Chains A and B, each alone.
Chain A
Amino acid sequence: MWRKVLGICLAMSMMLLLSACGSEETATYKGEIDTNPDKGLEVMGEHVTYDPNHLVNDGKPVELEWWLWDAPDLFGSIAEEYEKIHPNVTIHIVNNPWDGFWTKLPLALQKGKKGPTLFNVHNSYQHLLLTYMAPYDIDVKDLEQDFFTAKSHEIDGKIYYIDFGIMTGAIYYNKDMWAAAGLTEEDIPKTWEDFREVAKKLTIQENGKLIQAGFNYNGEFENLMQSISYQYGSTLFDESGTKPTITQEGQIKAVQMMLDFYDKDQVGDKDFGTDSAQSFGQGQSAMVYKWGHFYGYMNTNYPSIPYGTFEVPVVDEDPFAYDRYNGESTPGINKNASPEQLEAAQDFIRFYLANAEKQKSLCMNYSLFPANNALREDEDLLKNPAIQAVSEHISDYIWPGPMPATLGDNLKIAGQDIMYNGKSIEKTLKTAEDIIKVDLSNMDFVSSESLYHKYSQHK
Chain B
Amino acid sequence: MKKHILKYSLHIVLALVGIITILPFAWMILSSFKSNEEISALHQTLLPKTFTLENYVSLQSNFDFLRYFANSVLIAVIVTVLVVYISCLCGFVLSKYKFRGRNLIFGFVMMTMMVPWSVTIISRYTMFMKAGLQNTYLSLILPVMVSGFGIFMMKQDISALPDELLEAARIDGANEFRIFHQIVLPMSKNSISAIAIFQFLWVWEDYLWPYLMIDSDKKQLLAVGLTMFNGRYATDYGGLFAATAISIVPVIVVYTIFQKRFVAGVAAGSVKG
A69 touches B232 (CB 8 A): yes
Q: Is B103 at the interface (CB under 8 A from chain A)?
A: no
| A23 engages B136 (CB within 8 Å) | yes
Q: How far is the CA of A173 from the CA of B9 in the complex (A)?
A: 53
List chain B residues, Cβ under 8 A from A284. Answer: 42
Q: Which residues of A contact B141 (CB under 8 A)?
A: 18, 21
Instruction: Please tell me if the beta carbons of B133 and A22 are within 8 angstroms of each other in the complex.
Output: yes
Measured between C-beta atoms, what is the minimum distance from B43 to chain A in Å? Answer: 9
Looking at the complex, which one of A98, A100, A114 makes contact with B231 (CB distance below 8 Å)? Answer: A98
Q: Tell whether A431 is near chain B: CB-to-CB under 8 Å.
A: no
B215 touching A108 by the CB < 8 A rule?
Answer: yes
Q: Which of B214-273 contact A (CB under 8 A)?
A: 215-217, 224, 227-228, 230-234, 236
Residues from 138 to 179 in B contacting A, C-beta threshold 8 Å? 138, 140-141
Q: Which residues of A contact B234 (CB under 8 A)?
A: 293, 296-297, 300-301
Residue B65 CB within 8 A of the other chain: no
Nearest opposing residue in chain B for A366, CB measure: B233
Q: Which of A22, A104, A301 contacts B36 (CB 8 A)?
A: A301
Q: Which residues of A contact B136 (CB under 8 A)?
A: 21-24
| Contact call B37/A301, Cβ cutoff below 8 A | yes
B227 near A97: Cβ-Cβ < 8 Å:
yes
- 8 A Cβ contacts from A267-311 to B: 278, 281-284, 293-294, 296-297, 300-304
Bound-state CA distance A282–B36 (Å) is 12
A427 at the interface (CB under 8 A from B): no
Report A-chain residues with C-beta under 8 Å of the C-beta of B56: none
Given A69-B232, A100-B208, A104-B212, A21:B224 Cβ within 8 A: no
B177 to nearest A CB, angstroms? 10
Are B78 and A18 in contact (CB-based, < 8 A)? yes
On whether the beta carbons of B40 and A296 are closer than 8 Å, the reply is: no
Q: With A and B bound together, what is the CA distance between A282 and B63 in angstroms?
A: 29
Q: How far is the CA of A17 from the CA of B76 in the complex (A)?
A: 13
Alpha-carbon gap, A7 to B74, bound state (A): 19
Q: Which of chain B's residues have a CB closer than 8 A to the CB of A107?
A: 125, 129, 212
8 Å CB contact of A282 from B41, B125, B138, B227: B41
Q: Which residues of A contact B216 (CB under 8 A)?
A: 25, 94
B137 touches A302 (CB 8 A): no
Contacts of A95 in B (CB 8 A): 63, 217, 228
B181 and A97: CB pair below 8 A?
no
> Which residue on chain A has the smallest CB distance to residue B215?
A94
B240 CB, min distance to chain A CBs, angstroms: 12
Q: Are A22 and B217 in contact (CB under 8 A)?
A: no
B37, B81, B233 interface centre (most CB from chain A within 10 Å): B233
Q: Across the interface, which residues of B come within 8 angstroms of A14, CB to CB?
A: 78, 81-82
Closest chain A residue to B125, Cβ basis: A107
Alpha-carbon gap, A25 to B37, bound state (A): 43
Let me know if A185 is at the binding interface, CB within 8 A.
no
Contact with B along A21-41 (1 / 0, CB 8 A): 111110000000000000000
Q: Say whether A379 faces chain B, with CB atoms less than 8 Å apart.
A: no
A13 to chain B, nearest CB (A): 10
Q: A442 in the interface, Cβ–Cβ < 8 Å?
A: no
Assuming A17-B78, A18-B78, A97-B224, is B40 touching A302 (CB within 8 A)? yes
Partner of B230, one of A23, A24, A97, A302: A97
Top 10 nearest A-B pairs by Cβ distance?
Answer: A21-B137, A97-B227, A22-B138, A282-B42, A293-B233, A297-B234, A300-B234, A98-B232, A21-B138, A301-B40
Other than the given A98-B231, A302-B40, 7 more pairs (CB < 8 A) read: A22-B133, A65-B215, A70-B232, A95-B217, A95-B228, A97-B228, A111-B129
Q: List 29 A-B contacts (CB under 8 A).
A: A17-B74, A17-B78, A18-B138, A21-B136, A21-B137, A21-B138, A21-B140, A22-B136, A22-B137, A22-B138, A24-B135, A69-B232, A70-B232, A94-B215, A94-B216, A97-B228, A97-B230, A98-B230, A99-B227, A100-B224, A103-B208, A107-B129, A282-B42, A284-B42, A297-B233, A300-B234, A301-B40, A301-B234, A302-B40
- Give chain A's interface residues, CB within 8 Å of chain B: 7, 14, 17-18, 20-25, 65, 69-70, 94-95, 97-100, 103-104, 107-108, 111, 114, 278, 281-284, 293-294, 296-297, 300-304
